[in-house]
A = this chain, B = another copy of it.
Amino acid sequence: MEKVNLKSQNIKKEVIQIFKKYGLSTNHATISANALINAELVGAYGHGLSRLKMYCDRISKKVINPKPKIKIKKISQSISHINADNSIGFVAADIAIKKAIVNAKKTGIGLVAVKNSGHYGLSGYYAEQAVKKNLVTMIFTNAPPAVAPHGALKSLFGTNPICFGTPTGSKIPFILDTSISMINRGKIRVAARNNQKIPLGVALDKFGKITTDPKKALKGVQLPIAGFRGSGLAWMVDILSGVLTGGNHAGRVKDPFDDFSGPQNIGHLFITFKTNLFVKDYSNRIKDNIKKVKRLPKIKGVKEIVYPGQNKYKRFKMNSKKKIKITKIVKKDLESLKN
Contacts and interface: CB of A to CB of B under 8 A. Distances in A.
Nearest to A304: B151
A200 interface: no
Given A225-B229, A299-B151, A278 B174 contact: no
Given A182-B226, A235-B293, A113 B278 contact: yes
A306 interface: yes
- Chain A interface extent, by class: 35 or more
A278 B115 contact: yes
Contacts of A233: 162, 176, 178
Given A78-B108, A299-B151, A289 B249 contact: yes
A304 B246 CA distance: 27
B277 A75 contact: yes
Contacts of A273: 111
Given A225-B226, A239-B286, 7 more contacts: A149-B296, A151-B298, A162-B233, A164-B236, A178-B233, A225-B230, A228-B308
13 contacts: A76-B109, A81-B277, A148-B296, A152-B296, A164-B236, A166-B239, A178-B233, A208-B299, A225-B229, A228-B308, A243-B286, A245-B279, A249-B285
